[in-house]
Chains A and B, each alone.
Chain A
Amino acid sequence: MDVFGSFALLLALVCAVYALVGGIAAIRTRHPLLVKSARQAGLATCGLIFLATASLVYLFFSDSFWVAYVVAHSNRDLSTFYKIAALWSGQEGSLLFWSFLLAVYVFSVLLAYRNKNGELMPYVGVVLAGVQIFFLTLNNFVASPFKVLGAPAAGGAFDVFTRADGNGLNPLLQYPEMVIHPPNLYSGYTGFTIPFAFALAALLARYPGEKWIHLTRKWTMIAWCFQTVGILLGAHWAYAVLGWGGYWGWDPVENASLLPWLTGTAFLHSVMMQEKRGMMKVWNVWLVFSTFMLCILGTLLTRSGVVSSVHAFAQSSIGNWFVGFLAVVLLVCLAAYVKNRDYLKSENQLDSMVSRESSFLFNNLILLVSCIAVLSGTLFPVFSEWLSGSRISVGAPFFNKVNIPIGLLLLFLTGVGPLLAWRKTSTDSLKRNFGWPLMFALAAGLVAFAAGLREFYSLVCLMLCLFVAATISMEFFRGAKVIRARSGTSLLASAVELTTRNTRRYGGYIVHMGMVLIFVGLAGAAFNRDAQKEMQLGSTLKIGPYTLLLQSVDSKPEKNYTSERMVVEVMRGGNKPLMMLYPERRFFQTNEQSGTMVAIYSTLREDLYVVYAGQSPDNQLPVIHAYLNPLVKWIWLGGVVVVLGTIVTLLPNRRAVLALSAAPKAAPVPAALAQPLTPSVTLREGHD
């Protein structure tokens, strides 16, 4: 099966090269058969990548311990669940997995548009094939997951060795979220290839209008959603597994995932300027290019060892390949832009400083500043070493100080931007939309201050969260009230009806509400506290309102590891029993590594986070480390709301159906106005 996998990968590379060369020839000759054959080659490339990936999965499931990658990342006792995760746990497999996910996207795009957009698709196919060629080159010649263990023998033969068992999977990855976090994150990274391909293709083909934006909107939203989920799952994994009490440490690998997310978010907002007003064409194209390049840069940082990280793969020369690819992509983008920049000319015009357009400009500015600040902070140790010879670390305290004010500015714009009108917002409209929310937020701030909340950023964050929540709620309420007056349904049903009529707008509001919940959770971090104690049986540790009583410590052999766990009774308000917690340490015999399993009692108010921190070197007593982290659950809830909102934005509007049924009953109108009007179009300010 390893030979089959290798062969499938090699053939996939050949097909991808044909898709690229054939595609270019098809663009030049416009011969329909060439167009078709290039597309078929693209589909075949994807099919072959699927087969290669399936081969590697099979090798894991069949415990093929003659394949180096399987030996390095699996063992016989590893559960089926984690044998799937082993696929992307190392450099070679994760690159194949990258190719696989990219192939899923490419296959979907080539199939979905096989009979549409005939002028654009050959270009799209060529760009996608170019990206696939790069990854397939890595899969075939630089980091093949199908290498076998062996040594050259006499007579030019090759003796294959088979190991009795493998080294096992990294303990940190043996956690359920690790089976879903990387696929989500990688789906985000690879998904941004699609808008990149369409943007570059539209530029190269000088494809008219904003159609490429309409075509890629869903793909961009899907990629963005995967990226968001991936980031949040990664944060939750770090929280639940690493045992340091936090969820975001500004590690270079975490930062690498945040960079394309920030530019992708900027693109999702600024693209509306182009859709509505035909503005910012150059900016949008470069935002898409940058997002894709940041995905590659992130991968470069993760895999090259340029920056140190616990999450990073082993140092290797593979980074040079990514640098080369990044350079090629940049050159192609620059060349395409220079050659066809007149195609991107737009009539940029603003009617007023206070308008939706201006808010988008500031939104983009803040997202970009955040992105560049994170990027420069991440790379600063490298630059400082180049310039001064000594590496200066840039850790979480720096990133927090820099990004918290930026994040709060963004939160403010989240509340303001959507309610500003396109073109111009009147003073009346400002008062109507923001008067009550602003007063409410200020009053809330005063109440919170009086109640003892003195942490500046948390107080501002709380006020802004309430301001944004109030503006969004008022938007839903106002719209639902109108529908309720007409239909007589309940307010909730009216709000649902309202959302289904304009999924993009109200789905966007739901996403914003999710972000508000995430910010609420982040604000709680300022009030984290912890306590650590060596524990004897029957001794207690107090933290906040909780008392932790150590009842016992036991050891239990499991299939793939030995578990040593504490049995901790949690009491609240003195001696009132609340629940039992079982923080664990796991020892994995195959690779002689250990890991933690944190026990968390999570409520909306706070998380009681208990870690079995090992044994004291002085007296061998078990050590318990407990954290009290307020409001953390709101972050995960916010993530769920963001995903729901994104799904809503991807749904089609119901209004089109209503339009067809409403049209016959239209009242007679003067001849000059007798054209079919878009039903219930109400010209009012502050809508999208």
Chain B
Amino acid sequence: MTKRRPIGAILLCIVGVMSTLLGTPGYAQQTDRARQIGGKFMCMCGCNQVLTQCNHVGCTTSSSMLKELDQYVARGDSETTITQAFVQEFGTKVYAEPPKSGLSLVAWTLPSLYLFVGTIVVILVIWRWRARFTAPLTPAAGMPAGISEDDLQRARRQVAQETED
């Protein structure tokens, strides 16, 4: 117990530092509404980046899109209205993430479905493989005398194989 303390103390120090680093209030994201909405659109220059993150030198597409967005926001348009306007102008490819409706819902549900089905399969596999396991017989009194040299060799090989590395 005593010997674990130094490691524990070191790790707790790391936690302290980390939580201070991550928890500093000044690090909170300071976004305006335009930036928040802009994060939901893709830049249409073909860079495959989110609109507010496209920073290619000379990218005129993102600057004009951001300007347009600023105008909508300054006018006090709702997020839905702005989204509709962008979709009308650029098509559905302007979405940074698929909308959670219609065909796009498939994109959202698939990963959860994979995980769910996969987990069921793994559990079934484990259950099936577990069912094959039969516990070794408890040796009766005087049993060691009956262990053959072959069995002993096999046991040694297995022990070596399963404990090395």
Contact = CB atoms under 8 A, between A and B. Distances in A.
Interface string A614-635: 1001000000010010110000
Interface in B70-123: 91-99, 102-104, 106-108, 110-111, 114-115, 118-119, 121-122
Interface in A571-630: 585, 594-596, 605-606, 611, 613-614, 617, 625, 628, 630
A317 interface: no
Interface in A310-352: 310, 347-352
Interface string B130-141: 101100000000
A681 B161 CA distance: 11
Contact of B107 (A276, A369, A372, A398): A398
Interface string A653-681: 00000000000000000001101011001
Q: What interface size band does chain B fall in?
A: 35 or more
Contacts of B143: none
Given A249-B53, A401-B97, A544-B26, A683 B159 contact: yes
Interface string B8-22: 100110111011111
A470 B20 CA distance: 20
B92 to A, nearest CB: 5
A349 B133 contact: yes
Given A393-B42, A393-B92, A394-B97, A249 B49 contact: yes
Contact of A451 (B19, B104, B110, B160): B19
A376 B107 contact: yes
Given A377-B107, A392-B98, A469-B11, A462 B19 contact: yes
Given A395-B42, A529-B30, A614 B58 contact: yes
B96 A585 contact: no
Contact of A398 (B97, B121, B132): B97
29 contacts: A245-B53, A310-B46, A361-B122, A362-B122, A372-B111, A380-B98, A384-B92, A390-B93, A391-B91, A392-B98, A394-B97, A397-B40, A397-B97, A398-B97, A398-B98, A436-B8, A440-B8, A452-B19, A453-B22, A453-B23, A462-B18, A469-B14, A477-B7, A505-B165, A595-B57, A606-B21, A617-B63, A677-B156, A678-B164
A627 B147 CA distance: 71
Contacts of B165: 502, 504-505, 688
Contact of B104 (A392, A402, A527, A687): A392
A681 B57 contact: no
Contact of A611 (B26, B55, B96): B55
Contacts of B96: 393, 395-398
A368 interface: yes
Nearest to A358: B126
Contact of A523 (B22, B29, B91): B22
A179 interface: no
A392 B103 contact: yes
Of B48, B106, B107, B133, which is in contact with the most chain A CB atoms at under 10 Å from its CB?
B48
A384 B103 contact: yes
Interface string A360-384: 0110011011001100110011001
B95 to A, nearest CB: 5
Nearest to A454: B23
Given A308-B46, A527-B29, A544-B27, A448 B22 contact: yes
A687 B163 contact: yes
Contacts of B42: 393, 395
A630 B21 contact: yes
A244 interface: yes
A616 B4 CA distance: 59
B33 interface: no
A252 B48 contact: yes
Nearest to B157: A678
Contacts of A244: 49, 53-56
A90 interface: no
B50 interface: yes
Contact of A481 (B3, B94, B121): B3
Nearest to A376: B110
Nearest to B118: A365
A668 B22 CA distance: 61
Contacts of A462: 15, 18-19, 22
B103 A387 contact: yes
A585 B11 contact: no
**Among all A-B residue pairs, the 5 with the closest Cβ atoms:** A448-B19, A452-B23, A444-B15, A373-B111, A398-B97
A309 interface: yes
Interface string A469-510: 110011001000100000000000000000000101100000
Interface in A434-475: 436, 440, 443-444, 447-448, 451-453, 455, 458, 462, 466, 469-470, 473-474
B161 A529 contact: no
Nearest to A625: B55
A243 B18 contact: no
A350 B107 contact: no
A579 to B, nearest CB: 20
A667 B108 CA distance: 65
